[in-house]
Amino acid sequence: MIRKELVAASAEPLVLALLARGESYGYAIIQEVKARSGGQLQWTDGMLYPVLHRLERRGLIQARWGESETGRKRKYYSLKKDGKAAMAKHDEQWTMVHAVLAGLKGESYV
């Protein structure tokens, strides 16, 4: 199981990256993260929606109400221009952290 601190730290960049692929809604985001992590990241509504609302307040994503295929109302989220810039910054930071960890791991085998 992945520690909750790492899950929390990765939530914003993951949401931005998923929305960069196209508009989506909460349940679909939860399912996509679960599928892409092989079930290792199992988000809940209570974890995701505060992240979505925070991103919306910061002007990184926008929301609209629409109808699902079944006729139910559903809130769809999409990335705004500032969200793309924030996603690029997150990507840069995560790439750097990964490089440092990979370098340290490599040193331990020397």
> 73 in helix, strand or coil?
strand
User: Does 11 score more than 70 pLDDT?
Assistant: yes
The pLDDT confidence band at residue 109, using thresholds 50, 70 and 90, is low
What type of residue is 51? V
User: pLDDT digits over 44-100, tens only?
Assistant: 999 999 999 999 999 999 999 999 888 899 999 999 999 999 999 999 999 999 999
* CATH code of the region 4-107: 1.10.10.10
Tell me which H or E stretch contains 51.
helix 45-57
The model carries a pTM of 0.87
Nearest to 29 by CA among 7, 55, 38, 16: 16
Domains of the chain, by residue range, sit at 4-107
φ, ψ of residue 69 to 5 degrees: the values are: -60, -25
